[in-house]
Each structure stands twice: as C-alpha cells, then as structure tokens.
Amino acid sequence: MIMSNALKVRGRNTGSVAVATPATRAPHRALAGIVLALSLACVGIAPAIADSRLGPATPLPAYAQECGSCHLAYPPGLLPAASWQALMTGLTRHFGSDASLDGPVAREISDWLSAHAGNGKRAAERPPNDRITRAAWFTRKHREVATATWSRPAIRSSGNCAACHRGAAQGDFDEHAVTIPK
C-alpha cells in the first residue's frame, strides 16, 4: 500500500511519531493502523504538514463532479477568492476549453470556492492567468523539477498534480509523499 507507506515515512521524517521508528514498527495490520492513525493525527499538530493539506477534506459534490472531470478538482485553498471568481465568470473560455455550467450550479460552486479560498501567504495575490502553476510559491516549491520533466507522457502538464502527488485528490501535497513518474 503506497499511501500507508508514505504516511509511515512521513511520520518518521517529522520525528513526531515515536511508534514509527524501525525498532517498534511491526509488519502487523493493527500496528500499521495505529501508525497510520498517529500520522494522521500529526497532520493537525505539525504546522509544516498542516500547511501542505489544503482546503476541506470533503469537497462540495458539485465541485468534484463539474471541476474534476478534465483535471484535478484543485483544492480551493490554492487560489485567492478573486481568482476563483474570475475563473467562474469566464468558463465559456476556460484555458481553451468550454467549461460552462448552468447558472445555479455555477453559483453554488462559486460561493463554495469563495468560502474556502486561500487566505494565507500562498494566496496573497492573484497569480498570472489565475493559474496555480504560475504562482510564485508554486515556482519556488518546484524549482527542483527540470523543465523537461513536466512534459513526460505520464505527467504532461504542471497542472496534473496527481501525477506526482499521490494524495492530491485528498488535498495532501506533503513533500515526503511525492513520486515523479519516469
């Protein structure tokens, strides 16, 4: 199980989960469950990790459905409210695609995005073209990724977060759970 391994590694790396040390780690379902639970508990208390979980764990169903069909339903915390509003009012010409929605659905999604939009330093200003991938923090966090890597067939675009961040759909972008496909 890739995810639980990643979580165990994360627990060990942060040094905050005593039971995740090799000496006490047993290949045992129940123990693994405890380690997993404790790792998840850390998400709430370790700022560095909390910082890489973005937005509410359960997205609005309409958002997941309508905005997750062509790409990841990006965590709302990755853009400021002004960017989401601009995106939601320009859906007929959405990065070369028509992503238009019926009025009531568009409004429901727009309201939800605004309510859960980023308000930390990552979302201090609108990035160019309201693209997450053009934000200064995104460039900084990904400077180790070579330009050619982004266009690998298994990745295609920097907006394809889930290619490298296995937990992206759950809003988990922890740097210890990153795997770059060949």
Q: Interface residues with ligand HEC (CB under 6 A)?
A: 52, 66-67, 69-71, 74, 78, 87, 91, 94-97, 99, 109, 131-133, 141-142, 144-145, 149, 155, 157-161, 163-165, 173-175, 178, 180
CB of 63: closest distance to ligand HEC in angstroms?
7
- Tell me the two tokens of residue 177: 């759970």
Taking the least distance from each CB to ligand HEC, the nearer of 20 and 79 is: 79
CB of 94: closest distance to ligand HEC in angstroms?
5
Spatial distance between the Cα atoms of 18 and 36, rounded to a whole number of angstroms? 12
Taking the least distance from each CB to ligand HEC, the nearer of 20 and 49 is: 49
CB of 90: closest distance to ligand HEC in angstroms?
10
Instruction: Give phi and psi for 53, each to the nearest 5.
Output: -105, 120
Residue 49 near residue 10 (C-beta atoms within 8 A): yes
Q: At 94, is the secondary structure helix, strand, or coil?
A: strand
Measured over the CA atoms of residue 11, residue 13, residue 19 and residue 22, the dihedral's sign is positive
